[in-house]
Structure 1
Amino acid sequence: MKIVYVVYGYTNPGGTERVLATKANYFAEKGHQVSIVSLKKETENPFFSFSPLISFYNLDIPTSDKKYKQVFIDKVTELFKQIQPDIALTMGFGLTIYLSEVKDKSKKIFEYHFSKYKRKFELAAFDKYAMGRFLTDMYSLKRNKVVRKYDCFVVLTDEDKQSWRNIPNIEVIANPRAFVPSNYSELTTKRAIAVGRHTYQKGFESLIDIWSDITTKYPDWKLVIFGSGKKKERLEKQIKSLGITGAVELLPPTQNVEEEYKNSSVYVMTSKYEGLPLVLMEAMSCGLPAVSYACKCGPGEIITDEEDGFLVKPGDKKAFIEKLSLLFENRELQKRMGQLAAENMQRYNVEDIMPLWIKLFEKLHSA
């Protein structure tokens, strides 16, 4: 089967890029003809490894601005005459949403790597009420029209599927974890870890505030945050102003993140919204108990509350500190949760998740 991903880019060290590499590599190694089409002209080597069996194409479109819609459609149409894909996928909103308007014989799939409300995550609270659902449906009207144009719209969690409600072509397929560790953290290092871009979404300002209180009570515990982004300087200033430069460290993205998880003892997440956070899945795979805000969507499906980690109401810093304190002061609880975390993450094995994609492709292709 000929499978094509049409994406904005594939070289960055983000979760979406990591998932793309995992899935594309799997399909290629199973004998499928896989291509990745990038909107922008890539000038750097990919952060994650891609199989040499995969073909890459760059459309060299300057931005994802809507004014390039027809340019995008024309270039993809011409390229698809060459590739002749059976399945074509896009992974998010932006210019690539117009993939559905490319007229060829391929089946089109929109796979979404965030949750419905994304930056407008506060709107999720309105879904509890009939009038609120009407208002949120009006807010999402344009996006609903976009995803209905595809042969299939794939989201990552049942929680997010419920938010989209009356989308007839919706399916749920979780992301697979990117690796299976051969051993786990011994949970002996007094170090908490977080991984993610320095952006509004990740809420690291909240995490640093929390650590300012943590370090007064547990001065021997350190926090490391791996990532990069536009807000790094602001986060550095915050750390300095709180006087915790010795307790919090901002480090660049690493290709050896598995070892960094294993050198830590707890994973912390203060995101404002997610899709299905791969870093949380990875950390727990390495035997780390986790404390996370229960944001939309993903943490509530990955963490089994009070079994392999703790879920905290978003923004409740006091409760977050209390859950961390429980882990810091109870070694047996930390070990038990870490062991269960490693066991529970097995449900995200590539061997269990990826056949769901193959089944979907075959169903669409034969329709």
Structure 2
Amino acid sequence: MKKILYITNGINGSGGLERVLSIKTTVLSAQFGYEVHILVLNEAWRNPFYAFAPGVRMHTISVSGNPLQYIKQYRNGIKAIVQEVQPDVISVCDDGLKGFFVPQILRHSTIPVIYERHASVLIDQQQGLKAKVMQGLMKRLAGGFDAFVVLTQNNLNEWPVNNNLKVIPNPLTFYPEQVSDTLAPKLIAVGSHSYNKGYDLLLQVWKGLQDIFPEWELHIYGRIDNAQTYPVMAKALGVANTVHFHEPDPEIMLRYQESSIMVLPSRSEGFGMVLIEAMACGLPCVSFDCPSGPRDIIAHGEDGFLVPPGNVGEMTERLKELMADGKLRKEMGQLARKQVQRFLPERVIGQWDRLFKQLIK
């Protein structure tokens, strides 16, 4: 039985990386026969938001203190766990800088090391010079991995041309038998409350729709920031009565099934897991054509709409079109469900199995 060791920060959050890792590790162990290990920091495997298969083995290292102490503990901890587990392949799932140094930490090892990039480099677009320096260093270090895996064809353009670059999309979280009837007057958006997710733009869009469709509601699911930025903004814009903010919901599939349209106002995405989840539940999606992901998922005008990034006026018009036409919603939602089958886990995880075997061989 071949062993895989995943190195990440933690698996107890509600983000896309944790969700994808729970699916991949479950399928790899249950259907493909791998012995799966996950290494986290500071015991961040306890009380996971998503379910992990009982056979997946957890490891942790403690890191703290000043940067030098932290780096030393990180380096020594990884070496110790690798020595203990003796994996056949290692996959690093860490969108921060430190994960890029794993090949250097293990430079005397013959174990192949993969890097999985779950975010666009544009996610740090607000952070200025520091982010640019970090991105430059990441790009220099990217060639040190045996394989560097991104989620979309568009993501390839963000990294230097190396023969180690691969594209493997995220797998679907679910593909339920019961789908939305697209009749309920509800829009849904899913994602944490960050600038990158574009909820400020979405609230402007909603302000232009609320009076035209007074019976409709917008439901936003995602971790709310301490400052309550978007609930406060909703009040200032006069839309708080029809916009409802919710914390992350482990039963998000049910929330899609209760809705009729999915909207993604992001400024950038790593992939757009929420799009394929909504489509699996029979929802048409309206998304900004941001880098990266939506254009690899949505067939514009067929199963949803792509809108030029940041174009509030056009997103308003596209949503208006769907909200006013129940037949169009249903037709687009049905096609979305059919076309999203290419992301079924058995199809996507098979690509990982082939990559692992290639590198181990």
TM-score class, shorter-chain normalisation, is: over 0.9
Which of residues 52, 59, 62 is equivalent to 1:60?
A: 62
Going from structure 1 to structure 2, the CA distance change for 1:298 and 1:67 (only over 3 Å counts) comes to: farther
Identity %: 31
Cα 1:170/1:7, change in 2 over 3 Å: same
Q: Out of 211, 217, 220, which is 1:222 matched to?
A: 217
Alignment match, 2:28:
27
Cα offset for 1:232?
A: 5.8
- C-alpha displacement of 1:142: 1.6
**2:125: which partner in 1?**
120
Partner of 2:308: 313
Contact 1:160 1:297 in 2 (8 A): yes
1:50 match: 52
Aligned partner of 2:9 in structure 1 is 8
Give the unaligned 5+ runs of structure 2.
none
1:1-367 map, 5 Å: 1-29=2-30, 30-42=32-44, 44-62=46-64, 65=67, 68-91=70-93, 92-103=95-106, 104-120=109-125, 140-230=135-225, 233-366=228-361
Distance between the aligned counterparts of 1:191 and 1:232, measured in 2? 26
Aligned-pair CA distance for 1:43: 7.4
* 8 Å CA contact 1:64, 1:95 repeated in 2: no
> Structure 1, unaligned stretches of length 5 or more?
124-136
Q: Describe the superposition over 1:214-249 as per-residue Cα deviations: whole angstroms up to 9, x where unpaired.
A: 101111110000111326611111111122222000
Cα distance in 1 for partners of 2:15, 2:116 equals 16
1:101-120 Cα offsets, whole Å, 9 max, x none, are 23333210001011233333
Equivalent-residue separation in structure 2 for 1:221 and 1:111 (angstroms): 39
Distance in 2 between the 1:216 and 1:268 partners? Answer: 19
> Any conservation in 2 of the 1:6–1:36 contact (CA below 8 Å)?
yes
Calculate the aligned-residue CA RMSD, in Å. Answer: 2.1
Which residue of structure 2 lines up, in the alignment, with residue 128 of structure 1? none
- Name the TM-score, length of structure 1 as normaliser: 0.92
Distance, in Å, in 2 between the alignment partners of 1:114 and 1:43 is: 21
**Code of the aligned partner of 1:183:** Q
Distance in 1 (CA, whole Å) between partners of 2:220 and 2:115 is 31
Q: Which amino acid aligns with 2:110?
A: K
Total equivalences in the alignment: 354
| Contact 1:73 1:101 (8 Å CA) reproduced | no
- Could you tell me how far 1:265 is from its partner in structure 2? 0.2
Q: Deviations over 1:302-351 (max 9, x none)?
A: 10001000000111100000000111112221111111100010000111
One-letter amino acid of the structure 1 residue matched with residue 21 of structure 2 = L
* Mean CA deviation greater in 289-298 or 114-123: 114-123
Report the TM-score when normalising by structure 2. 0.93
Q: Is the 8 A contact 2:303 2:336 kept in 1?
A: yes
